Amino acid sequence: MSPEAPEIPLRVAAASAALDAVEGPLSGYHHETYVFPLLAEAGTGFQGRWKCREPRANLLWFDRRCFESEERLLYDLQWRIDVVPEVARVGGVDLQRFIEGSTLGELHPSGEAVPGALFEQILGLFGQLGTVTASTLLVERRCEPQDRAEEGDSAGFLERLICFTEERVYEENLIAYEGLFADLGLDADAFRQLRKRVAVLRDRPFSLLHADLHRENFIVDPNGKLWAIDWELAMFGDPLYDLATHLYLMRYPQAQERLMIQRWCGIVEEIRPDSSQGWCDDLPRLFEFKKAQSVFTDVIREPQSLDVQGKLDRQRLRRAGWKLRGC
């Protein structure tokens, strides 16, 4: 990036050792991310490159968020979860260490098996997440206490996620996308059907969930260590929901998916009994919610991606059509 690039935020320019050393903005839906080495005087004791994340303007949020600050959450997780990037406050700005390496998706794309050593590290992360509960992690949360499901009420937890999708994704965008929703056979009855399905979820003790563990949110460093990034959707809730989201997004081969479920159940049960209770019946129900959530969000996201500098990108149109067809 050239030194005079006007899009570099002022706080990034002030902390970076040199403007031409700033990399970014890196691709991402929720944020623009800038990576840079710190000024010598600002970065005393902080080696390597760091990243600053700037929220994108006029962004539609399709997922419920629990915590006021991702960085504040990561500060409190530093000594509890060992795959969390280091966080530091420099010049009044919270920065995250940039993990040098490749995403798991770059190394092993969707549909491929994950090598054993990395697979074990993912299981280890689930184990560490299971030890973190709302009573042991006192981080400021966005939602009011009355808007949180009671401890262990898995059906109530998912009901709040359904409400968010119905109100913030479907209803708030109905005027703009009513015709498209109708053409695809999507209406409010879908949420009624979802509620019927999830009302019978079994109760499971709540723990911390990453809620977005997919191949692009895992970074493998040069030493083979797996790091989990992008914790902005983390929440407290039903641990089986975290597993369902992970399986839905990872697209493991069937044999490895079965192994993940088996091993996950053993790990979470040892940490907190009943954490996998009723998984055989409830996992398919949670998959149904993830599919429905994806349909409604993709119906909005995909049309937005078609306008490139005021022109219809027909190649993107074909990709969007196939994506929606596959939902």
At 121, the pLDDT band (50, 70, 90 cuts) reads very high
At 17, the pLDDT band (50, 70, 90 cuts) reads low
- Residue with the bigger pLDDT between 161 and 37: it is 161
Distance CA 74, CA 178 (A): 39
Superfamily of domain 100-326: Aminoglycoside phosphotransferase (APH), C-terminal lobe (3.90.1200.10)
Q: Does residue 213 register a pLDDT over 90?
A: yes
The per-residue pLDDT of the chain, averaged, comes to 85
- Residue 153 is predicted with a pLDDT of 96
- Residue with the bigger pLDDT between 151 and 326: it is 151
Q: Does residue 308 register a pLDDT over 60?
A: no
DSSP letter for each residue of 59-107: PPP-S---BS-HHHHHHHHTTT-TTSPPEEEETTEEEEE---SEEHHHH
At 324, the pLDDT band (50, 70, 90 cuts) reads low
Sequence ranges of the domains in the chain: 100-326
Residues 207, 275 contacting (CB under 8 angstroms): yes
At 229, the pLDDT band (50, 70, 90 cuts) reads very high
- Residue 9 is predicted with a pLDDT of 66
- Residue with the bigger pLDDT between 46 and 315: it is 46
